[in-house]
Structure 1
Amino acid sequence: MCDACLIESIKNSMLSRRALFAGAAATTAAVVASGLTTARPALAQAAGKVVDLTHAYDGEFPTFDGNPGILYEPAVKFDESGYQLWKLTIYEHTGTHIDAPLHFSADGASVADLPPERLVCPLCVLDITAKAAGDANAMVEPADIEAWVSANGAIPAGSCVAMHSGWAAKLGDPSFRNTADGKLAFPGFSKAATDMLAGMDVACIGVDTLSLDPGNSADFGVHFSWLPGGRFGIENLANLDQLPATGATVFIGAPKHKTGTGGPARVMAVL
């Protein structure tokens, strides 16, 4: 084929592709306009900034019971086979992870049963860093929720409400998990607060600590009330300090193993 013919052929091909993409874009716009898509308005309005709310973790990452949350075992070695992979032993409630309803109920929904529309939702960030600086077991209380609503407007139904206590900055220091004498100590939600959020049809709550309940909880009141109600939680969130109180959409990459009580998750926020 001559050079001129080749150039003309490429030009025609590019024009055809442009027409195809333009048609696809027009079709997508029509679908959105007609309301046939389930995408939330917050996604369409996003500027495209992505904040990773997930800690990378290994066997050194702090856990509630103090035991390693993930174990690595070489299954295939590169120097022997030309490729490599690990055999992993993972405990569900380690790292940045989800607590599914089944975690604290005999027959609640497993992590595989969580409705997908609950995994993409508006994110509301409650900042209690000032309170937590003076009290390692500080809690989100109804007054904190009321103050947030007064400043930012109503909490949307189906949203994720996350506690920002500043605790993620302690990761790598023993104080992330416990006091100097070994007692568990970290902020969490109060049951009164989560009861209020349940009445608002909030889909999930999140914390930047090891547990939805504060470290000194004796009864796990939040776990026993929030999760059996069909809602879920996210523990060990990262980078909440990079987000505004409102305006972000959270994407919760929940694992989907059958009968799972929870599991490590990749959680990201889009602004």
Structure 2
Amino acid sequence: MAHHPIRGFALAAIFSSLIAAPAFGQSLDLSKSTIVDLTHPFDSKTIYWPTSPSGFELKSLHNGLTERGYFYAANSFCSPEHGGTHLDAPLHFARGHWTNAEIPVDRFVGPAFVIDVSAKAAADPDYLLTPEDIAEWEDAHGRIPQGAIVLLRTGWSARWSDRKAYLGDDAPGDATHLHFPGYGAQAAALLVVDRRAKLIGIDTASVDHGPSQDFLVHRIVAGADAAGLENLDNLDKLPATGAIVFALPMKISGGTGGPARIVAVVAR
């Protein structure tokens, strides 16, 4: 089909208007925005839960010249669902709830509301977000709306290169002596049940704090058909409000979670 310059211009104008259209009370103008990567790379050093039987594995299938003389490279990879920067689907802790592939795609995109407890977590590595923390944040920034993506900044992503510092323990196969901050159960219920947040995320290995053995926060979030984002990076580069997050996991049929490339759009 021949290219029609007027039609192409019209389509470009329509697309531009959609991109700049208000959504969630915000405008998304990419020409005046910074894209922040909230994702740790996947490689041999990626952190997985201590009881995971394996980590991220990358195998080269071909890397070099082909018989016809051109360069070609391809790999295969293998990874547990839960490790590195990833999403927890509701099915992870709630029987019969959404799998990765069943989560409506519009739930992966939305306004970010960043709660910073890094100072409190520095003083207490097992710190739990409280309803009082949320009330204090809302006093300063306004009520968290329905459909929010709430991100908890603890400062733990700075420890990513040191497994023991990040998890609080590095005993192989043992998850009973971990230490890192997380959401408290009451705070999680306030966010996903009362405020009806669709995603909650954190820059640690779990939305439950390290010492948890009952994973109550996971159960509360999954039971509300919300989802969790874990092992986030660069939350210090996001404002308390105003960013828009795109958190797209692999679309795994029957999946309980999966690796995700998560980015935020922040107005300059």
Range into which the TM-score falls when normalised by the shorter chain: 0.7 to 0.9
1:190 to 184, 191, 213: 184
Closer/same/farther in 2, CA of residues 162 and 32 from structure 1, 3 Å limit:
closer
Give 1:62's aligned residue.
47
SS for the counterpart of 2:111 is: strand
Name the Cα RMSD after superposition.
2.6
Cα distance in structure 1, aligned partners of 2:76 and 2:170: 35
Give 2:100's aligned residue.
111
Closer/same/farther in 2, CA of residues 126 and 27 from structure 1, 3 Å limit:
closer
- The 5-angstrom pairing of residues 66-145 of structure 1 reads 67=52, 68-79=54-65, 82-145=71-134
Cα distance in structure 1, aligned partners of 2:16 and 2:80: 43
Greater helix percent: which structure?
Answer: 1
Deviations 1:45-76 (A, max 9, x none): 56321101001121212221265421122223
Contact 1:101 1:109 in 2 (8 A): yes
Gaps of 5+ in 2: none
Instruction: Please state how far the C-alpha of 1:156 moved relative to its aligned partner.
Output: 1.6
Q: Which moved more, 1:220-229 or 1:255-264?
A: 220-229
Contact 1:140 1:188 in 2 (8 A): yes
Instruction: Please state how far the C-alpha of 1:28 moved relative to its aligned partner.
Output: 5.2
Cα distance in structure 2, aligned partners of 1:231 and 1:30: 30
Deviations 1:177-226 (A, max 9, x none): 12488821111101100110121110010010000100001211101121
Q: TM-score normalized by structure 1?
A: 0.85
SS for the counterpart of 2:91 is: helix
Closer/same/farther in 2, CA of residues 45 and 215 from structure 1, 3 Å limit:
same
SS for the counterpart of 1:233 is: strand
Instruction: Please state how far the C-alpha of 1:25 moved relative to its aligned partner.
Output: 4.9
- Structure 1 or 2, whichever has the larger Rg, is 1
SS for the counterpart of 1:247 is: strand
SS for the counterpart of 1:112 is: coil
Cα distance in structure 2, aligned partners of 1:180 and 1:84: 35
1:175 to 140, 162, 165: 165
1:44 to 13, 28, 40: 28
Letter in 1 for 2:132: A
Q: Does 1:244 align with 2:239?
A: yes
Instruction: Please state how far the C-alpha of 1:30 moved relative to its aligned partner.
Output: 7.8
Letter in 1 for 2:166: F
Letter in 2 for 1:191: A
Cα distance in structure 2, aligned partners of 1:71 and 1:52: 22
Cα distance in structure 1, aligned partners of 2:78 and 2:170: 30
Contact 1:122 1:156 in 2 (8 A): no
Q: Does 1:234 align with 2:223?
A: no
Q: TM-score normalized by structure 2?
A: 0.86
Give 1:157's aligned residue.
146
Contact 1:178 1:184 in 2 (8 A): yes
Closer/same/farther in 2, CA of residues 49 and 80 from structure 1, 3 Å limit:
same
Deviations 1:125-156 (A, max 9, x none): 00001110011111111111111100000112
Instruction: Please state how far the C-alpha of 1:106 moved relative to its aligned partner.
Output: 2.1
